[in-house]
Structure 1
């Protein structure tokens, strides 16, 4: 933990400590009083022990000094040149969004729209000042008498600043870190807007949209989010999508939450929310009644020991992709697309189905299980990085040893899609065989019946493959298939070699069908039904 420990009565830079409000990854926060008797919040960092935390504190001061917005706290004082550096904020009465929702329930109607608009306006002001917040979460939004306030800029940085990381790591809160940042992209305004949408979703539902802890990472990457059927939920869900270019803007979300039929025009960052009256009505009914300086509800600026899963998740820095000492698979980055190889693999299965239908199906299911297990391994490595930071090759070794467990879990998860694929494949094959064979569409000779059966089996295999690829809960399997294909074809030469193998196997199967080789119905003794 960054920052020295202080007790009540200690003096820091002329401020007397009344008590500790909380602590986090970038410092400790204390409730203090100045010589005039005014209370404030003081964030303290020991620069001698943590140069990165001290540099982040200086960055925070620069960021907030350049902002003038009612939903962003003001800096009252700062000392950045001593070993013991600190910054003094105006203290915010109230409680965090997380605590507010826990005590009073989710926001609804105009109050939810007012919350979304005021926080969107604050974030617009942050971005207009050239600053990226990087940790917009329910624990970093205070609900005060005048409405929500965006706090804790300990992770913030100006867009022109160099990245500050510890051993190539960047911080964030799992479940509120945009998928592109998990994948290794540079945190930016788009990532802030995604985190804002996740925070608005929490205000709407009272639950973290992707859960908390390390499991939130895989759910974020899989876009596994469920929102109630409320006004604006569809647009909010789209704002939490993985495709950056397909996400609606914050004002689109605010407009949808307000029940507007068209996108609201952008509002200047310093403008007062036009639905402030709705917020005032909501606050009068539900806001905490205690007012400073009594301090009963005096809250720190984002460091809560009892907050919803408040640990900082640590993600791989994008620059490590190019570090020759790191293994690429340590990051759950999207694998290179190998669509052509996967299509060719599907063609081989389709071509082999008339010769060995059950074997072809089992090969397809086996490939899906292994692919899903490989993707599970990659996600597990990413989760390990979140918990402990990058351990070079150790996490890769541990998760590789644990690959059988990942494969076993993948096998269980694949059962619904496999059963659905089998049912659809058999149905299509039986239906096609009846249309082609029983109606003598290709003639009544043995040759016609053979080719009719072969065509029906091929169509059934194709249907099964489509269901297997896009069936229940198969997004992880598709990502794993690309990852597995990329692993066996890391170079253009190997890609060409596998292409040649697939084409050769397809040709051999085609020749076998052409010369009317009898189908191998293992584990059955012959074609079902005669």
Structure 2
């Protein structure tokens, strides 16, 4: 996707536009116009190849996220259909993501420890979502934007917690396995689907903090392993012997507990970081 469709050009009348992400099934644009700066997401189906099966849900994801953001009371949200799928327009959030903020902590020989205030701001953004009765379903470092005043939790296309219109909805089939809780991986392996939960989000946040602060995944498997192999390693509990320094050490270990009931709630995570 090298150009924005007419429907977006009509809605935003951009003076500047830049494609910042182009992956199978979606593109994300940074767009500026007279009314401000926005993120524009376009979804379209993934066609089958010799390496992967066709996927239709990617075409629906932007509208599903737009509907969820609207239900959550976010401002300046609009979404709709275009010839290949759906789109949404939402406010642009300035700032680096969690993984980039802690880059110096991962540098060889670095003595800089991950800042607990950054971890707390990520937990607070997730707590705000949980307080409204929703689970994110796709917690990962790239989805925490560390802004100058607050941290924004983005990419809610896979969130669950309320009704989504049938024409926009699709089953949840897991997320990036690095941040997938064992119970989610087990369900996806067994049935092809799962149900996002606050407990699984806690695991995802723990895994996101761990890899951002140390450079290590929570679970050990070959980098090029198929997703089914990755998920089986998660189900088998193949945790790496790596931990965070300071106060985050025991907390992240608890967040990565195999049993969902043994993980702290998001409010307990926030309280532990005060």
TM-score by length of 1: 0.41
Q: Mind listing any 5+ residue stretches in structure 2 that lack a counterpart? A: 48-54, 107-111, 188-193
Q: Could you tell me how far apart the structure 1 residues matched to 2:69 and 2:218 are?
A: 29
Q: Could you tell me how far apart the structure 1 residues matched to 2:255 and 2:160 are?
A: 23
Could you say which residue in structure 1 is the equivalent of 2:151? 148
Q: CA deviation at 1:20?
A: 0.7
The answer to whether residue 185 in structure 2 is matched with residue 182 in structure 1 is yes
Q: Is the 8 A contact 2:202 2:263 kept in 1?
A: no
Match of 2:202 among 190, 193, 209: 193
Q: CA deviation at 1:174?
A: 1.6
Could you say which residue in structure 2 is the equivalent of 1:31? 30
Secondary structure of the corresponding residue to residue 179 of structure 2: coil
Match of 1:60 among 60, 65, 75: 65
Tell me the matched-pair count.
242
Distance 1:198 1:128, change over 3 A: same
Q: Could you tell me how far apart the structure 2 residues matched to 1:58 and 1:146 are?
A: 28
Q: CA deviation at 1:244?
A: 1.3
Could you say which residue in structure 1 is the equivalent of 2:52? none
Alignment of 1:432-443 (within 5 A): none
Q: Is the 8 A contact 1:115 1:147 kept in 2?
A: no
Q: Is the 8 A contact 1:223 1:242 kept in 2?
A: no
Could you say which residue in structure 2 is the equivalent of 1:527? none
Q: Is the 8 A contact 1:61 1:75 kept in 2?
A: no
Q: CA deviation at 1:9?
A: 10
Could you say which residue in structure 2 is the equivalent of 1:89? 90
Q: Could you tell me how far apart the structure 2 residues matched to 1:99 and 1:38 are?
A: 25
Deviations 1:6-49 (A, max 9, x none): 33897734233622110345521112233x16322110124798
TM-score by length of 2: 0.73
The answer to whether residue 47 in structure 2 is matched with residue 42 in structure 1 is no
The answer to whether residue 17 in structure 2 is matched with residue 12 in structure 1 is no
Q: CA deviation at 1:51?
A: 5.2
Distance 1:25 1:123, change over 3 A: farther
Q: CA deviation at 1:87?
A: 1.1
Q: Is the 8 A contact 2:41 2:87 kept in 1?
A: yes
Q: Mind listing any 5+ residue stretches in structure 1 that lack a counterpart? A: 69-73, 259-530
Q: Could you tell me how far apart the structure 2 residues matched to 1:48 and 1:238 are?
A: 37
Deviations 1:413-451 (A, max 9, x none): xxxxxxxxxxxxxxxxxxxxxxxxxxxxxxxxxxxxxxx
Q: Is the 8 A contact 1:95 1:143 kept in 2?
A: yes
Distance 1:144 1:22, change over 3 A: same
Q: Is the 8 A contact 1:174 1:213 kept in 2?
A: no
Match of 2:256 among 240, 244, 248: 240
